[in-house]
């Protein structure tokens, strides 16, 4: 998996199959992850939540992106009642900015609808938008409050984890787990690049949580040994 990347993932199976067809026609090897095979109706009743993925070699990523863009730019016929026609200019522009959150067809539809409304976005402008989006995804969190809560949880259990383990043993390892997640977790950007999920400042919190966990584990262990002697 180190030399591979997720090219696309979607809840829409037909979109994934169409992209797979484009790759096949251009002799690009891919792996289609069909999670429907593992769907268990006794646990998950909503089939619309099943995600499909296409994985390719990182070396083919740029070429595949170009082929997909060319394919959809030439194959866009907007149905009369298509839901994006009800979107405002600002909402359509947000699709252009957050391309990674939409499928290829909707992205091209948004560009065409904006063009029909007299808003033409040049190729240079699209490149700038995509570059800004990548930088935003590198720096920012989808749910910053959850990140803050995770770091706070790590600090709390780095101090009391050993004591809490007398109630439930796994409490001892919570702060260690939190610190490793903060230090090691990565995410994939739309261009296939993998970067750390947590920014540099928060990874420093991860280092401190890990060190504090070791220090207080030793401290509380020695404290109870001394107290019982």
Per-residue pLDDT of 85-124, as tens digits, reads 999 999 999 999 999 999 888 999 999 999 999 999 998 9
In angstroms and rounded to an integer, the radius of gyration of the C-alpha atoms of the chain is 24
Looking at the structure of the chain, the number of domains it has is 3
Question: Among residues 203, 204, 185, 202, which one has the least CA distance to residue 194?
Answer: 185
* Mean pLDDT of all residues belonging to the chain: 88
Last residue of a domain, which of 109, 140, 171?
140
Mean pLDDT of 39-43: 46
* Total-model pTM: 0.74
* Structural domain containing residue 176: 144-228
Give the end of a domain, one of 122, 140, 158.
140
Tell me if 69 is assigned to some domain. Answer: no
Instruction: Work out the pLDDT band at 26, boundaries 50, 70, 90.
Output: very high
Which residues are paired to 49 by β-bridges? none
Binned at pLDDT 50, 70 and 90, residue 49 comes out as low
Q: Which residue has the tokens 């033409």?
A: 120
Q: Please check the confidence at residue 204 and state whether its pLDDT lies above 90.
A: yes
Asked if 10 and 53 sit in the same domain, the reply is yes
Beta-ladder partners of 52: 10, 34
Domain end point (choices 115, 140, 165): 140
CA-nearest of 169, 175, 162 to 222 is 162
Query: What's the token pair of residue 190?
Result: 């739309």
Under the banding of pLDDT at 50, 70 and 90, the label for residue 42 is very low
Task: Check if the beta carbon of residue 8 is closer than 8 Å to that of residue 54.
Answer: yes
**pLDDT, tens digit (0-9, with 9 covering 90-100), for 155-175:** 999 999 888 777 777 788 899
Q: Are 130 and 95 contacting, i.e. CB atoms less than 8 angstroms apart?
A: no
| Residue 36 clears pLDDT 70, i.e. is over it | no
- Does residue 153 sit in the same domain as residue 211? yes
In order, the DSSP letters of 145-172 are HHHHHHHHHHHHHHHHHHHHTTT-GGGG
Residue 65 lies in a domain: no
SS3 95: helix
157 and 107, same structural domain? no
Residue 40 has pLDDT above 60, yes or no: no
Q: Please tell me the least confidently modeled range out of 1-5, 84-88, 175-179, 200-204.
A: 1-5
Domain identity same for 123 and 159: no
Q: Are residues 106 and 156 in the same domain?
A: no
- The model's confidence at residue 226, banded by pLDDT at 50, 70 and 90, is confident
């Amino acid at each position: 998996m180190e030399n591979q990347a997720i090219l696309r993932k979607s809840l829409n199976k037909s979109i994934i199959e169409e992209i797979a067809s484009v790759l096949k026609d251009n002799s690009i090897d891919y792996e289609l992850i069909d999670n429907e095979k593992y769907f268990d109706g006794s646990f998950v009743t909503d089939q619309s939540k099943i995600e499909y993925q296409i994985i390719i070699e990182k070396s083919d990523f740029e070429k595949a992106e170009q082929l997909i863009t060319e394919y959809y730019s030439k194959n866009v016929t907007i149905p009369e009642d298509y839901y994006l026609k009800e979107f405002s200019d600002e909402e359509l522009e947000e699709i252009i900015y957050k391309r990674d959150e939409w499928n290829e067809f909707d992205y091209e539809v948004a560009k065409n609808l904006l063009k029909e409304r007299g808003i033409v976005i040049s190729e240079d402008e699209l490149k700038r938008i995509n570059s800004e989006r990548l930088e935003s995804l590198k720096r920012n969190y989808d749910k910053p409050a959850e990140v803050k809560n995770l770091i706070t949880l790590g600090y709390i259990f780095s101090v009391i984890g050993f004591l809490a383990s007398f109630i439930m043993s796994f409490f001892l390892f919570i702060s260690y787990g939190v610190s490793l997640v903060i230090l090691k977790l990565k995410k994939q950007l739309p261009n296939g690049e993998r970067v750390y999920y947590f920014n540099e400042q928060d990874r420093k919190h991860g280092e401190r949580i890990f060190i504090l966990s070791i220090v207080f584990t030793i401290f509380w262990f020695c404290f109870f040994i001394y107290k019982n002697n």
